[in-house]
Amino acid sequence: MEKNIFSNLSTDNEDHESRDIRRLFAITFSLYNFSENYNVLYKKDADCTIAKELISLYYKRIKPNYSNMIYSFKKKYIINEALVEKNDTQEQKRGLKAVYDYIQNYSKDAEEFNILIESLRISELLWKPTDQKHLEDLDAEKDECFAMIQEAKEEKNMEKYKQAKAKLRELSTITADNKIGGRIRQDSDEVDLLGYEILVPSGVEARIFINSFSSPEKRKEFLEHLKNDNEIDYIEYCVKICADLIKYQPFKDGNKRTFRSLLNLMFKEKNLPPVYIRPKEREEYHKVLFEAIQNGNYDNLVKFYNFKICDSIYELDVAPYIIRKVFNQTPEIKENNKEKKLKLNDENSSKK
């Protein structure tokens, strides 16, 4: 007889009600995951009712461990996120890791959440390894120029001397102020949005927009949504905010990565799981993001994220729970299995 993978989900010390609820969600999200893999839900659940109901019921009944979720998330996220925008240099991967270390360690009680400040922090962390490498490369190039000047003097080569001096003057204009991370763009900075021909707001408009999130009105607006018990409304609010920030492109580079990370930090405020986008979902993500930015129609982008949150609940909480229970991965069960194995070995030895 084929083994039922859900039959062992009650092998813990939870009370009957909690155990049954946990088991129900494990089965439900597993079926959801199977359906989604065959694109059934995307076709049948056009208004996202199933995903929304699952999220709402889950957070009414389950208290997931966010630290465990983000630990699992980080192992999968870095490579996937780097590939979504095809920015997979070692420096950018290290920057993404630093961002999610920050999100994992972020304390909701430490200070009042501020969208502007957190955007600047995330951008700074995202680009810190790259900016550092640029400065190191710059120092190396300057050293080469100094060596070339010295050689030119010894060789009495005026042309070589002029070239080295000119290069050194050029390099001297590049300073730490030219860094990418945490720097709101100027009008002279070139930005590219999704590769589409979209009229990106000017640097002045971008600065006004992102700075507006420090206003008392915007901070009050965020707190009202945060205190609202409706997770679905909060998800929609956060997705719209981050889509608008991507539209304004306030940073010179890395805006989509910065604000996807900000979105996950905003989700953490509600203990919602972090979300990542697989490379195979890149085209769909850009399509719905473009629709939101170009036409102000956020419906499909919000729907996309509701499905992605269900994905994350399954992958980061439900699936690990099933593995622990079904495949006997809890410390207590592992110890019991070890004792049984030792006992069996003793019995076999005595028979011999």
Amino acid sitting at position 146? F
| Phi (first) and psi of residue 185, to 5 degrees | -70, 155
Which residue is it, tokens 């360690």?
A: 105
User: What residues form DSSP beta bridges with 251?
Assistant: 184
Among the residue ranges 36-40, 52-56, 143-147, 185-189, the one predicted with the least confidence is 36-40
Nearest CA to 312 among 262, 257, 268? 268
Among 10-14, 15-19, 77-81, 112-116, the range of highest mean pLDDT:
112-116
Q: Does domain 20-343 have CATH number 1.10.3290.10?
A: yes
Q: What is the pLDDT of residues 253-262, one digit of tens each?
A: 889 999 999 9
Q: Kindly state the average pLDDT of the residues 52-72.
A: 82
Which residue is it, tokens 């419906």?
A: 299
| Phi (first) and psi of residue 206, to 5 degrees | -65, -45
Q: What is the pLDDT of residues 158-169, one digit of tens each?
A: 888 888 888 888
Structure tokens at 154: 């010894």
pLDDT score, position 322: 75
Q: H-helix or E-strand containing 332?
A: helix 331-351
pLDDT score, position 310: 87
User: What pTM value is reported for the model?
Assistant: 0.77
